[in-house]
Amino acid sequence: MRALTGKTALVTGASSGIGEAIARKLAAEGVNLVLVARSQDKLKQLADALTQSYAVQCTVLLADLSTQNCGATVHGQVKAMGLTVDILVNNAGYGTYGPFDSIAPENEQAEIAVNIAAVVDFAHAFLPEMLKRGEGTILNVASTAAFQPVPYMAVYAASKAFVLSFSEALWAEYRQQGIHVVALCPSAVDTGFINHLGNESVRKTAAFSTTLQPEQVAAHAMKAIYGKGPTHITGFKNWLIAQSARFAPRSLVARSSADMMRPPVQNGATSH
């Protein structure tokens, strides 16, 4: 097990939900933090709380991850502060829900930018220095949606499939050079992400009938960071479903997913 005390982790989307919960878990392990999101007030409150509770150093950086070269920009700020990032947590995510033709193209472009382009950009920005040191960890938050097509969340699921494949590929490329890359794949999580998918009736659908709490996902994130494999799925049931989706006929998987995800209300968009 790798000792984390005294290391520095950068967490995107750290102002709430999964990102905040992961930041709290890391701080409890004695990890200094670079907290990245768009909400200065929330980040400042979190940074103050973690510093007071765990005596770790917390740096707040504001960034819009839907902008081009956001990873390079944040890396430049981190370098200017003289900080070294040992653990990169690509958590920030954006989702859209509803029939594909009903969703504004600009919303889905933002979804692709945050869920895919930013993940690649941050990896490009921080991986080279990890390679020079011969150690480092990159945790990319994907989803169990990565393992099958998800009608009515088509772009979101496809973006998470990218994150999964990307993470597994980097794991294979760099695992013998001291770099641990892992995709964390949680099922539905009770955050603002769900709250904005439509209304409370969405929670009654099969796909969202059971949800994890951010703290549960954060506990799995720590296992993923300490682990060795390229993929960490939250729980045996979710692991079994993911494997089944990989081997079942794709048309059957898509139809079953459509039945679970069919919108009871108008579509919306949100971020986690």
Q: Known catalytic residues?
A: 156
User: Phi first, then psi: what are they for 100, rounded to 5°?
Assistant: -55, -40
- The residue among 5, 16, 9, 71 whose CA lies nearest residue 272 is 16
Q: Which residues contact 16 (CB under 8 A, 6 or more apart)?
A: 37, 39, 42, 191, 192
Q: How far apart are alpha carbons 263 and 98 in whole angstroms? A: 6
What letter does residue 176 receive in the DSSP assignment? G
**Residue 188, exposed/middle/buried by CB under 10 A (0-12, 13-18, 19+)?**
buried
CA distances from 112 to 65, 88, 154 (A): 10, 20, 11
- Report the candidate in 28, 62, 72 with the shortest Cα–Cα distance to residue 42: 62
For 184, the 3-state DSSP assignment is: strand
Return the bridge partners of 7, or none: none
